[in-house]
Amino acid sequence: MLFILGLVVGAALLGLVLWLQRKEIAVRWYEWLVGALGFMMLVWTVNDYFGSTAEHNETAAHIFLWLLGTPAIILLGLAVFLPWLRLSRSAKAAAGKGDVKSH
């Protein structure tokens, strides 16, 4: 299970890095860190949700879903939002400079 998960994560990470390079998107180190934390919490959420369900602990499964899943989604969202925010700001700034030059 962990072996297959490792393969999938490795392939996805490689795809992400190649995509970012092609699009020339720079990601800061702390954004990688936030993304990694979010991903680990997501794995934990999925594992403990299905694990608790398999153990017939439905209440625990739902608590894990909310307790671990919410911060996982927030962290993953931040990991996407922060580079997007930076890119859109720099794009606006570049557009602003273009307007000044045209005057």
Partner 1 sequence: MSKYHSTLSRREFLKALGLGGAGIGAAALGASALPVLNKPVHDLDEIVSSSLAIPNRPSYVKEVEKPTIEVDWTLMNRFDYSNVMWAAGLQKALGSTQFDLVTKAQQGNRILRLKQNKPGYTLRDDAFVNAYYRATSTYLPPTTSSTPDDLGVPRYEGTPEENARMIRAFLRFHGAAEVGFVELDTDTTEKLVYAYDTGSGAAQGPKITIADVDQPSETKNERILPKKARWVIIYTIRMADEFMRRAPTPLVVAPTNLRYDLKSIIQGELQSFLRGLGYMGLGEASSANALGSKVGWAIMAGLGEHSRAMHLITPNYGLRQGLFAVITDLPLAPGKPVDFGVMRFCRVCKKCSDICPAKAINGETEPSWQNNGDYQQTGIKSWHRIEPRCLTYIREAGYSQGCILCFAVCPLSKGKRETIYQDLIRRTIATTPTFDRAIRKMDDFLSYGQRSDPETFWDLDLPPFGWE
C-alpha–C-alpha distance, residues 91 and 96, integer Å: 9
Q: Taking CB under 8 A as the rule, does residue 57 contact partner 1?
A: yes
Q: Taking CB under 8 A as the rule, does residue 86 contact partner 1?
A: no
Q: Taking CB under 8 A as the rule, does residue 38 contact partner 1?
A: no
**Residue where the block lists tokens 């694990």:** 51
Q: With 0-12 CB in 10 A as exposed, 13-18 as middle and 19+ as buried, what is 21?
A: exposed
Q: Taking CB under 8 A as the rule, does residue 37 contact partner 1?
A: no
Tell which one of 35, 64, 69, 76 touches partner 1 (CB under 8 A).
Answer: 64
Nearer CB in complex with partner 1: 45/83: 45
CB contact at 8 A, 83 and 23: no
Stretch that binds partner 1, among 12-20, 47-55, 78-86, 91-99 (CB under 8 A): 47-55
